[in-house]
Amino acid sequence: MLFVMKKRTQADSPTPSISQKYICLPFESEEQYAKCVENYRRFREFLDGQIASHPELFPEAISAGYDFHDQYRSRKLKLTLRRIKLNRTGEVFTVRPSFVLPYCVGRTDEVEKALYLRLWGVPFAALAYVFGRDEMFWYRAWIAFGRANLVGATVKSEAACPRDLIVDEKITWVDGQEVVVPTTASGGCFLGITVSERDNTEGLQAAYGEFASEAKAVFPDYRPLSVCTDGWAATREAWRLLFPQITLVLCYLHSVIKIAARCTGQLRQEVLTRVWHVYRAETKSKFSQRLRRLEQWSAKHLSGGVAEMVKKLCRRRAEFTPAYDCPQAARTSNGVDRLLNHLDRLLYAACYGHSTPGSLRLAVRAMALQWNFHPYGKRLREEEPGRISPFHDLNGFVYHQNWLHNLLIASSMGGLRL
């Protein structure tokens, strides 16, 4: 499985490129859709019901009314698509059922199982061998996920949009050159991900700025309250420049990991117990007090690298304590690390990128969106009945029980609301 593109294309574009003129809606069956297409009255009743139930799938101007414009016939799928024209703006939109892929390249049910295997990085050549067609068909069908607005496709209401974020960067390679993958997450979902060739403040500001732009394109008044980061100064400065009022919280887990890596022998358990005891302080004053006691104890009982790491943790008190002013903020980067572990396995299976940062950007966005909509496994569903997918956890509902139908519907108009 290689991420290869022969020449510079839309993959190198910094903005999502999926068509914004397609409205994707859930129909119970092809028979229901065929009846709607044949009968204008039935089709209007269906559309009006969907507009009332899920206005986020439609352009805002549709509230002023619409008329049927014309129709398009797909000879490949032998399917008719209706187009509507908005009364207020005169814009024309194609209404596509969720059982059809974008641009009518195939039926959803014919490709759903093959694309489901992409969640574990099954190579495109293997998909072609088992399911037919060719490798490029499966590559194009999967990579198209990455063209939607990631925030708009994942978060369907302003109330559900997370205000407390977790960010981190993963190092990977494109054609042998090292790049970073700045990632924004919350609520178990990827909210932003891209590829940057620079890991300095300017490069990370532009990379995380892509998330900020996508979020504001969907929710213009969006302002995050807090962001949990590691200790990389460029990351913290980039977020401070993007959102000057944001609360920056330093990840406590990174310091613990550094201490644990240098701590061996009989003192290891005691050191880690004392370090986590500091973390569990209920108030800012108790946290500061426990930190001072940890530093005093460390000076008497520790030496070498572990003593230096404990001392470094204690010196960063001012970067840990803002979490107490924003109680709902994440205090560790676990929420993004779990997602990056999944991404790391897929990139390793793909032997990383082999063309341009732009093509890898589309690939990691496709991975991210598929993660957000993937169905949970049987064990989790049995242990916690009612949980369906990360998208369901974040929004509290699904448009369709099938993950691919749900993804396509949520990506209506490229995830935007024009």
pLDDT tens figures, 228-276: 999 899 999 999 999 999 999 999 999 999 999 998 878 889 999 999 9
The per-residue pLDDT for range 264-321, each reduced to its tens digit, is: 878 889 999 999 999 999 999 999 999 999 999 999 998 899 999 999 999 999 999 9
Around Cβ 51, how many Cβ atoms within 10 Å? 15
pLDDT for 267 equals 85
Return the closest-CA partner of residue 224 out of 167, 291, 303.
Answer: 167
CB 165 within 8 A of CB 228: yes
In this predicted structure, the answer to whether residue 418 has a pLDDT above a threshold of 80 is no
Q: How many CA atoms lie within 13 A of 312 on its CB side?
A: 15
Partners of 66 in the beta sheet?
86
- The identity of residue 13, as a single letter, is S
Mean pLDDT of 57-61: 94
In the structure, what pLDDT confidence band is assigned to residue 3 with cuts at 50, 70 and 90?
low
Q: Yes or no: say if 262 and 305 are a contact pair by the CB < 8 Å rule.
A: yes
Question: Is 8's pLDDT higher than 70?
Answer: no
Q: Is 300 exposed, middle or buried (0-12, 13-18, 19+ CB in 10 A)?
A: exposed
Q: What is the pLDDT of residue 359?
A: 92
Q: Name residue 305's amino acid.
A: G
Q: pLDDT value at position 19?
A: 60
Q: Which residue in 115, 167, 109 sits closest to 370, CA to CA?
A: 115
Residue 151 in this model has a pLDDT that exceeds 70: yes
Q: Which residues of 232-246 are buried (b: 16+ CB within 10 A; e: fewer)?
A: bebbbbbbeebbeeb
Residue 148 scores a pLDDT above 90: yes
Handedness of CA 340, 5, 145, 161 (dihedral sign): positive
What's the rounded Cα separation, in Å, for the pair 409 and 397?
A: 13
Q: 55 near 156, Cβ under 8 Å?
A: no
pTM as predicted:
0.91
Give me the amino acid identity at 258. Answer: K
